Structure 1
Amino acid sequence: MFAAIKEQHKEPLLSGKTSSWKNMMDVNVLALSICAREAYQSMKERNVDDGHIINMNSLCGHQVFSLADAHFYSATKYAVTALTEGLRQELRAENTHIRATCISPGVVETEFMSRFYNDSPEKAAGIYAAVKVKYSYTSSTVDRITHIQSI
């Protein structure tokens, strides 16, 4: 399940705008939940019992970084982790072979950070550099994603 916010929001917990928080919740949590439900219903209607629902997450779904601007975003990504586990448990209770997986690919340079800090490209580059040192991934990440689909 892929969802994207065209405009990134820098909204700290102490001063953020409610409308921006709602937008992040709608995209990262509600849309993902709706897509997972509809994917399951579609598989069920077509008698597919070996499907795989893969939710795209983020490192922010497992660790809160010391970036106040991203704390609410992290909360939505923690929700993705919880939703995927809840989905996995519900699928198990339904005695289906449909699987649910959450992928957190690590540091991938995309337009996200440059749009997030469009007023300070140096800050975006610095954040990528700092996170890369701690979380470096190799091409084996692609192998792991491919492996998930073969399970």
Structure 2
Amino acid sequence: MLFYVIAIIVIVIDQVSKLLIRAHIEINETFTLWGIQLTHIENSGMAGGLLPGYARLFGVLAVVFVLGVLYIRRTGEMQGVLIDSSFGFLVGGGIGNGIDRLLFGHVTDFIVRTGGILNLADHSIEIGGVLLILYVIVSWLKKKPLDSHDKHIEK
């Protein structure tokens, strides 16, 4: 359930934020809100504007990614709050940007950061990636055999 709640919240907040930006801010207009610099751009490529003009292809890849995550979840091999949260953020962000790419042929970006201009879906994907790395590390630590020093202490 956590997976679906996070994914839906991310999609809704992402799409509402993009709708507000498109409705009220001109392209290339810059302003500051709560100390955060915002600039409205439309990105027809991938992160950082790489491969411009391939937005719909990346939209299809987002659909494939989401189907892959749903398949992995269905197998039940990866379980727990950490992986459910990770997948929720990844899928929510993927769907958020996928909607833009498939419907509009570009993604609305507006949050100015070192290294580029992003949106809430992009930040969600970053959070999901960090949580996935944490899940992998925690899983590895749980499976790691005790070394001889730890075995000696347990006796």
Shorter-chain TM-score above 0.5: no
Q: Which structure: larger Rg?
A: 2
| Larger helix share, 1 or 2 | 2
**How high is the TM-score relative to the length of structure 2?**
0.36
What TM-score results when the alignment is normalised by the length of structure 1? 0.36
